[in-house]
Amino acid sequence: MQKSVQHSLVAAAVVAALGLTGTAAAETTVYGKIHISAGSISQDVAGVENSATAITSHASRIGFKADKKLENGMTVVGQVEYEIDTVGDANDNNDDNFIKSRNTYAGLKGGFGEVRVGIHDTPHKMSTAKLDPLSDTYADYNNVVVTDTRASNVLAYLNKFGDISVAVAYAGGDDAVTQENLGSATSAMIAYESGPLFLAAAIENFDDVAAGKYESSTKLGAGYTFGDVKLGLVYDTEEIKGGNDDTAMYASLQWKVSDAGTVKAAYGELDYDNSATKDASFYAVAYDHKLDKDANIYVLYADGSDGGLAKKGKLAGDGTAAVVGMEFKF
């Protein structure tokens, strides 16, 4: 019953948005992406091995965005976006994870930049997103860069000055008056992009965290393109309340071997300051083939050690994934 209601709500939203496209004063766009893979996955936890043939939805989504130019020259903007599980869960008839909120906000932009309020990726997360060529796959770099956040109750400011982009944000945490913004956070980034060079830096601080939890993160990123090759590097220091610092490192390579084909490779590592915890790592190789500008298919092999594919790949211990995937944007 719950899944049927969720399907109906999404369908109604699509119909409403399509209707708005033709009738509303604001210019409204419906967009989305279906990203599915199929293949073999496995994990080995404390000597207990498990494997399965998995058909998986990877952050498939649907969204609606609109903007309206005001008489004073400013523009009102808005976006509603949901992640949708496009394959379902055979073990959960209700499938509570069928739909999840993604970046959803209202805002105002003009010569001063842009202000957004709602659910939004923090500037820390935004800063190096373009350096992850295997984003939303089993080998997403957030397997090791674990402090990237999409936050609720966000007030964000974004602007661009020539080749330099900046963003700052405040996430209100629990905004109930009795909780006094428990879990609030601040985040800021700056990025430079000109020609083949991309550089980024970001910092994020979390308030009122418990001992042993991350309370701040400082991230640096760099990318360089020469000819048909793109290189990327991300370095993230994650400070834990109580004294320990964990360090994440991620390196990637993309090599365009033809007009349609790109070879991709990546390595990531999370170095725990606590010597009792084994460092997590993974490597991945992939071939991506464009069918056209909106659709591509790929083959991917990813291998993780000591939880290297646990966060985004959801493969605990020593995990592997060998899959064929397809993305279709609309």
User: Best-predicted range by mean pLDDT among 241-245, 273-277, 323-327?
Assistant: 323-327
**How does residue 39 score in pLDDT terms, banded at 50, 70 and 90?**
very high
CA-to-CA separations, 1 to 16, 92, 182, 248, 255, in angstroms, rounded? 22, 12, 35, 42, 47
Q: Residue 6 has what pLDDT?
A: 47
Give the DSSP H or E segment for 231.
strand 229-240
For the full predicted model, state whether its pTM sits above 0.95: no
DSSP state of 177: G
- The residue behind tokens 């999840």 is 100
Among 57-66, 154-163, 234-243, which is the least confidently predicted range? 234-243
pLDDT in tens, 7-33: 444 545 544 544 444 444 688 999 999
Can you tell me the distance from the alpha carbon of 261 to that of 263, in angstroms, rounded to the nearest whole number?
7
**Does residue 42 have a pLDDT over 90?**
yes
Residue 37 neighbours by CB under 8 Å, 6+ apart: 54, 55, 56, 58, 137, 138, 300, 323, 324, 325, 326
pLDDT in tens, 176-227: 888 888 889 999 999 999 999 999 999 999 988 777 788 899 999 999 999 9
The tokens of 286 are what? 């992939």
End-to-end CA distance of the chain: 29
Can you tell me the distance from the alpha carbon of 168 to that of 203, in angstroms, rounded to the nearest whole number?
10
Strand 185-194 and strand 197-206: the pairing is: antiparallel
**CATH superfamily, with its number, for domain 2-329:** Porin (2.40.160.10)
The tokens of 93 are what? 């008839």
The overall average pLDDT reported for the chain is 90
User: What average pLDDT does range 77-100 have in this prediction?
Assistant: 79
Domain ranges of the chain: 2-329
The tokens of 142 are what? 């957030």
Contact 69, 77 (CB under 8 A): no
Q: Residue 2 has what pLDDT?
A: 47
Contact 229, 213 (CB under 8 A): no
Can you tell me the distance from the alpha carbon of 124 to that of 115, in angstroms, rounded to the nearest whole number?
17
**How does residue 119 score in pLDDT terms, banded at 50, 70 and 90?**
very high
Q: Residue 310 has what pLDDT?
A: 96
